[in-house]
Amino acid sequence: MEARKGYADVADAYRQLIRDGELRPGDGMPTVNAVAEEHGVARNTAARAFALLKSEGLITTRAGAGTVVATPPVVVSGADRLDRLNRTGRKYSPGEEATGHQVMRRSCHDPKICRELELEPGDEIVLRIRTFKQDGKPTTVGVSVIHPRATMDVPEVAEEAPMTEFWQRLYTERTGREISRGQRTATARQASQSELDALEIDAPPHVAVAVLVTNVTFHDEAGPIEHWEDVYAPGVEIPMPS
């Protein structure tokens, strides 16, 4: 017997549509009666779902327009952005863009990165760095640290131009190896000057600015192949797994 939907289930369905860009800021939401009919729930259940979405800042009521999608107050992580890409094929949500692309080869001496990618200190890595903006405001610095073996099958990953297609997809197409995502973790630390510059934060040199950082490592059958780090601007909210 199929489980009965509750208001949280209905809210989650629209929350996903909003975050995926299927419903864009300013788009009209269906009426409470239409939502109740579509999801097979009572009108009161649909109304509670709308109340929850309003409390999260995802929808709002405008005079003459009814209930519409608001500008999302949260910023997705790189891992969530990948999930959205896989679901919808969209690289960016409404109002989102990536700027300041940097691609470089470096010798790795960071103990954490060496451990995550099973490298020896001094081994070469490929760094891909970009700043994500929402409605023109910097929200996140994304750093991809890619194992050098990936360049054998996807040499484009080390080229300076932004890639038009997600490199992990190209890797799987060319090698037949699926890439899986490890556990995402979060920590807080002091921002570097380059991160402050990218996030357009003007802080005196003697002032420490704390930022939230999420990390995740990707693997294929041969071992770890990429490590992601997302650095969020102070005050930015991100959705966390429930």
* DSSP codes joined into one string, 10-24: HHHHHHHHHHHTSS-
Domain 78-232: top CATH class? alpha beta
Look at residue 180 and give its three-state secondary structure.
Answer: strand
Per-residue pLDDT of the chain (242 residues; tens, 9 = 90+): 456 789 999 999 998 888 877 888 889 999 999 999 999 999 999 999 999 999 888 899 887 778 999 876 567 778 888 888 888 888 887 788 999 999 999 999 999 999 999 999 999 999 999 999 988 999 999 999 999 999 999 999 999 888 888 999 999 999 999 999 999 999 999 999 999 999 999 988 888 899 999 999 999 999 999 999 999 999 887 776 65
Residue 70: CB atoms within 10 Å: 18
* Dihedral of alpha carbons 134, 140, 146, 151, sign: positive
Domain 7-69: top CATH class? mainly alpha
In this chain, the answer to whether the domains covering 7-69 and 78-232 adopt an identical fold is no
Least Cα distance to 122 among 112, 111, 109, 110 occurs for: 109
For residue 116, CA distances in Å to 95, 147, 215, 239 come to: 33, 10, 10, 25
Domain extents in the chain: 7-69, 78-232
Please, are residues 73 and 137 in contact by the beta-carbon 8 Å criterion?
no
